[in-house]
Structure 1
């Protein structure tokens, strides 16, 4: 609608609106978290959780409204037909930009439960952020380092046990857990440094999803394999989107059977872990080819596309 305006003006406008949108709904979620602390019965806490999820839905919808205001984005999305907001999903995706979370939350908000992320336990104590994530029932993980395990072998299995306890609330409320299995946003520099066998992806890390499947595998209805592509993206995708320069967002969603992971075997048997990693590598090889075909479909330069994405060195 306003994409005729100069990029710097659109950036300032979108930044202001995004801050307001996040402040309003994040503030309500934080207030809800405080109130939730004083709700003594499970039914009341579940009702509060549903309300917090509605606030997150409103945040995602607000982000979409801002994008409609500043840009004319063509959303090419396939694979949503059989999904349900009453189901449980483990979601895996490639990761190109900080824009991914906003785009995927917006695309998926009416089709699956709002996305949640496994977070480091230390984030629980970050003012406002920790309370808001707790109010949204995001599970906090306490990962024991290898050094600590070596000093105290009795700690083995405690991380998985604590994560299972954190996920018990999900038995009563449909949930989507997101895992960016590459562990970092893609850049061509990282791809070369890893010697990644893929053209458009970093090497996938199996530990995170194996941990999630070990903790709550039987609860998941499906594994959702999400692929996101920005065929016309500038170098900095997030900044480009905020300046109205991203005009095409392609999302493909594949519902897959949930792989079974035996926690005892995975964390003690190297051959078992290697077999699970090979399965994930195969999923990633198929994703790499899908991205290539999508880029060809939209006449994107497949030789330069990796260099177009963000060059940020951190996640």
Structure 2
């Protein structure tokens, strides 16, 4: 049996604290399940503080990250911060984490942008540390990247066994790790170059998503039925002229109209047409958790009202 739909909003901040609180309250009022903050070292707000303020401003909304870059924070410190937020929010935290992909952020922080395989291996070790601390408040691990020994992993989260873990990726190595460790798997284009380039666009075609879902299913084994599949929508437009919009967007990013019309990362059309697309995507790939940018959230709300919980 398919999972029911739920929807999230991704936002990077606001002009004022009041505007940010209003954004969180509006997302909740419109029926969105979550408000998710990315993690880049540019003009966006800091994700952990943003999550805390949004949680305080709402009653039911889940707050999370899409996604934290593992290399920016020590896992022992991060475990405490996330557990504290889980406690004060009453278990309304969604913990999204990835290996880090944007090279310019690493340069900005003076961090070495290691090869993808090394960053993913380090993320795997970090996840083991985080899960140990959340389970028992202690961790003793010595690996290739972390050597930690502490009994002071307090407070412990109220979500059991830990806040839902979301891991996103586009390559086989990353999605294999996600399938084995995450509760929610975000399926994205592969961005091994460290930037959003033409290769990422070509990786968004529908056949590539068939392959990625196959990797996840194979790696998940018995866990497959417990995994929620998420898709971040890059292009979202409510319009009565789907054909013209698809033609314009496809030309702009170097895809054919058929390719653009079929990718799950673009939802273009009337409310009825987009609802049909989402039902088709659930049938084909299993995607039930859809994330929309905050700029499109209000226009997309009729789709949320129709499909959330179905």
TM-score by length of 1: 0.29
Greater fraction of residues in strand: 2
Q: Which has the higher contact order (CA 8 A, sep 6+)?
A: 1
